[in-house]
């Protein structure tokens, strides 16, 4: 019996011409200075879609975004930890291994609708919790950062 599935597929959403900074990357990256990215910058990276349940919603949702490992590779990031910070003040350390072992998504849309800063947006870190039983654990639930605005690579 299959209780749930998550699928990550390549997808293409119409890129928006939005140049406002929504994510800053800093730390052990290719640049000594922080790198600021807009939604357009993120959408220029390979896009993926993840269908999974969450700990805070009912049923499954379809998330569109970029794999965190692709995002980190795009700035030549290297480290053991990614500190994810949100505009609401929340911060958590994400082990580097998570970004390599799982299809962790930095999502900008849910069910085809862009995430709004007044909700969980503009970006939400999403784990494929239905694909890996071990991800249905509170330790991983804490890593689902919504209102994401900064990644610090250590």
Half-sphere exposure of 63 (CA within 13 A, CB side): 32
Tell me how far the alpha carbon of residue 139 is from its chain's centroid: 16
1 domain residue, yes or no? no
- In percent, the amount of the chain with pLDDT more than 90 equals 88
Using CA atoms, how far apart are residues 125 and 142, in angstroms rounded to an integer?
A: 10
Q: Which residue has the tokens 């998570």?
A: 98
Average pLDDT, rounded, for the chain: 90
Check residue 30 and give its pLDDT.
Answer: 95
Element spanning 24, H or E: strand 21-27
User: What is residue 17's predicted lDDT score, i.e. its pLDDT?
Assistant: 56
Q: Is residue 2 part of a domain?
A: no
- Residue 11, in any domain of the structure: yes
In a domain, 98, yes or no: yes
8: pLDDT strictly greater than 60: no
- Tell me whether residue 148 is in a domain: yes
Residue 121 lies in a domain: yes
The whole-number average pLDDT for the span 123-135 is: 97
Domain assignment of residue 108, given as a range = 7-153
| Domain count across the chain | 1
Q: Per-residue pLDDT tens for 15-50?
A: 445 689 999 999 999 999 999 999 999 999 999 999
pLDDT tens digits along 54-89: 999 999 999 999 999 999 999 999 999 999 999 999
- Establish if 102 belongs to a structural domain: yes
pTM of structure: 0.87
The CATH number assigned to the domain holding 56 equals 3.90.420.10
* pLDDT for position 18: 67
Check: CB of residue 43 under 8 Å from CB of residue 18.
no
Buried-exposed string 106-137: b where 16+ CB fall within 10 A, e elsewhere:
bbbbbeeeebeeeebbbbbbbbbbbbeeebee
pLDDT for res 128: 98
Return the H-helix or E-strand segment holding 141: helix 138-141
Residue 63 included in any domain: yes
């Amino acid at each position: 019996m299959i209780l749930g599935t998550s699928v990550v597929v390549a997808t293409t959403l119409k890129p928006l011409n939005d140049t406002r900074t929504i994510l800053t990357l800093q730390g052990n990256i290719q640049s000594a200075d922080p790198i600021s990215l807009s939604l357009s910058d993120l959408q220029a990276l390979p896009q993926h879609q993840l269908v999974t349940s969450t700990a805070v919603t009912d049923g499954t949702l379809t998330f569109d975004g970029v794999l965190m490992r692709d995002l980190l590779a795009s700035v030549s990031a290297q480290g053991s930890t990614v500190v994810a910070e949100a505009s609401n003040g929340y911060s958590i350390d994400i082990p580097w291994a998570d970004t390599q072992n799982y299809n962790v998504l930095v999502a900008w849309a849910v069910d085809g609708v862009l995430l709004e800063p007044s909700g969980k947006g503009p970006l939400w870190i999403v784990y494929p919790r239905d694909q890996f039983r071990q991800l249905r654990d509170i330790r991983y639930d804490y890593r689902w950062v919504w209102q994401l605005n900064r990644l610090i690579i250590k």
